[in-house]
A and B are shown apart, each in its own frame.
Chain A
Amino acid sequence: MNTAVASVGGLAGAPARPAPIAGWRQAALAQARARMIIGAMLFMALIAVLGLRLVDLAVLHEAPAGPRDLAAALIPERGDIVDRNGIELARSFEAFAITFEPFVRHKGPRKPGSDPRLLAQKLAAILTDRSAADIYADLIGGKEFRYIARRVLPWQAKAINDLGEPSIVLRREPQRLYPGLDLGAHAIGYTTSGTARAYGRSGMEKVLEARLSDPATRGTPVALAMDSRVQQALESELYAGMTKHRAAGAAGIVMDVQTGEVVAMASLPTFNPNAPGKLEPGPVADAGRPDARYNRATMAVYELGSTFKALTIAMALDSGVIKSMQQTFDARAPITIGGHTIHDDRGHELRKFATTPEIFIHSSNIGTARMASALGGERQRAYLDRLGFFKPVAVELAEKARPIYPAVSNWGEAAVMTVGFGHGVSVSPLHLATAYAALANGGILHPATMLKVQAGQAVPGTRVFSEATSDKLRALFRLVVTNGTGRKANTPGYRVGGKTGTAEKVVNGRYAHNQLVSTFAGAFPMDAPRYVVLAMLDEPHGTADTGGFATAGMVSAPIVEKLVARIGPLLGVMPDENKDVDIGGLLGLIADKQADE
């Protein structure tokens, strides 16, 4: 059709481009151009959007902090340690450290911007525990990196920063804070700080190193068995006793008899784990003494004297050597054996055939030696082995000593007798507390633990004595406190029972008559025992009110009396003067109803 029209037009004049075709082409071109412009605009818009978005992301937005990052930021560098009630005992924080770095920030050696002597004086004015001379020595020492001070207070850090000295650098480094200062220091332990993190060096800090530093577990605090209130009471009463009797040291333990949890453990003199290298000033700070970091409750082994007699009587009862409490043992005269003479302490001589209660409350060495002899060395060793007295005490702490005891070849009759009343075997106070818990709780030995035992958690235990033996020992323990050498431990209403033990220290292989270790170990309330308490003074001295005596009944028992009055209510033990252990039957077996302390 279009072709025909063009042919007709061609006949009329010169050949020309058909108008309709030209219009279409122009229209098509215009349309294509428009579409191209739209396409180009869209592309430009797209590029602009992308560009804007890039600017938005790069300039306006910070890197988003995800919830996981924030949660991770709140997890401490090292896990917290808390007591059994959730009170913090150790926690991490970022402290300021002041370093001198003349080489690091500036290429090549460079002296401080200001006069070193002047700078040292300015720093010493802020860091009051360092002298200007010390700091000056550090500044001119020529080392590339030097700590001027660590764990400085925020205001000190700000003041030093304001000095504007380029070679003095403020660093943040992880540090450990012990809010209770020296409270429970031996049990909690301490750390040393590296540039990246703190490392446990002693106590539970060392034991729990992996648990406290693992990112997967360090967010959850570790609960110790310790009750900080009981710990404070124990340390306070021990310190008072140690100061009064000018003792070289002291140790104390409060332990749950059913679980073996160490509710409190103290060793004096103590130290501040925030500055473990610095010794605490105190009445007993003395050259030649062990470092304050020395844990007397687990690292020291002592012959704990007459407190061992309870174990000998328990062994004799349990094995049938003592068939009834009326049974008597010959305590008429000292025993001479192996060149040694076993005699009773002056004022405690029985000079007769004595019943078990008499031997126990008068703390007769002769009577107990006779019992031990009847028991025999083999059974004695077997019981001591089951009580764990031949190996370091069963507790998580690494600071523990190996007990000292005679070799089997030397465990003859003389050794049997002397071990029976607490000589010849040296164990730690925690060994004794663990054994006393077994005597009081019905005869089951639970290993000591510094960690909190959760309700319903199984507690490992081994039966060492029968229930009947434990019942009889409980009555005997109570008898010692009501009528025996431990009367000064008798806290009204709390039915305390226990045994005193005074031993001479072995110095250079010989017994030193004027260097005693005075121990009271017991439990309360004796009608249904819940806690073992032990107080030991190392080298106490008598005072006017003790008549010059430094025996356990005079110096350690009063500590327990005051301690139980303080911790009883905290531990949920109600005092009751209408309740008590039935000791009527035992009293009938005692001729002299009151033993000297």
Chain B
Amino acid sequence: MIRIRTVLGGVATMAVMISCYSVSLMVSGERKAVDDLRLEIASNQRGIRTLQAEFRTRARPAELQRWNDEALGLQAASTLQLVRDPLQLAAFETRTPAAEVPRYAVAEAPKPAPAPVTTVAYRADADAIAPAAVAELVGNGEAHLTRVALR
């Protein structure tokens, strides 16, 4: 019984040790990867410096001027090519006005003021035509009404 417990204890200890060690290995592996990355960054930065030096040497001002003199022919802008303000820009307008064309103007008449509202009392009108009278006129052929709406 004691032996089994001892063996089990040993196995458990070894398992813990191995797992701890494997964790340690993983950590050191990651650390090494980080170190490698840092070294790579440093190496790349050195490479960038070297390439920058090469670029600066190839694109040195004297070389750029040689290119400009031989191929591009660029020159500094003269006074007339620089515009100081919008007025000067407008002064460069060269288009001539087109031939005389009719021009239309729109005049707006002022709207008449609305008539004042007056209130009057209702009064029956003796001359008003009653519906019965209309029907009589139609029947006589004197008037044609297609529709009579009464409100």
Contact = CB atoms under 8 A, between A and B. Distances in A.
Contacts of B13: 41-42, 45
B9 A34 contact: no
A211 to B, nearest CB: 20
A228 B61 contact: yes
A70 B39 contact: yes
A52 B21 contact: yes
Nearest to B88: A578
A544 interface: no
Interface in B66-80: 76-79
A12 interface: no
Interface string A208-239: 00000000000000000000110110011000
Contacts of A30: 2
A49 B28 CA distance: 16
Given A65-B35, A228-B61, A576 B53 contact: no
Chain B interface mostly: helix
A116 interface: no
Interface string B50-73: 101100110011100100000000
Given A65-B35, A177-B53, A576-B79, A45 B62 contact: no
Interface stretch (B41-49, B100-108, B109-117, B131-139): B41-49
Contacts of B76: 565-566, 568-569
A73 interface: yes
B78 A492 contact: yes
A418 B1 CA distance: 122
B31 interface: yes
- Count chain A CB atoms within 10 A of each CB in B6, B24, B53, B76 and give the residue with the most: B76
A493 B80 CA distance: 9
Contacts of A45: 13-14, 17
Given A64-B31, A74-B46, A49 B17 contact: yes
A434 to B, nearest CB: 26
Contacts of A88: 52-53, 56
A56 B28 contact: yes
Contacts of A34: 2-3, 6
Given A30-B2, A41-B10, A492-B78, A61 B62 contact: no
Given A74-B42, A492-B79, A38 B6 contact: yes
A93 B51 CA distance: 11
A236 B65 contact: yes
A62 B65 contact: no
Interface stretch (A164-172, A179-187, A439-447): A179-187
A197 B62 CA distance: 29
Interface in A170-211: 177, 179-183
Contact of B38 (A65, A231, A492, A569): A65
B56 A232 contact: no
Interface of B: 2-3, 6, 9-10, 13-14, 17, 21, 24-25, 28, 31-32, 35, 38-39, 41-42, 45-46, 49-50, 52-53, 56-57, 60-62, 65, 76-79, 82, 84
Interface of A: 30-31, 34, 37-38, 41-42, 45, 49, 52, 56, 60-62, 64-65, 67, 70, 73-74, 76, 87-88, 91, 93, 177, 179-183, 228-229, 231-232, 235-236, 492-493, 565-566, 568-569, 574-578
Given A65-B38, A179-B56, A492-B79, 6 more contacts: A42-B13, A56-B24, A70-B42, A74-B46, A179-B57, A565-B78
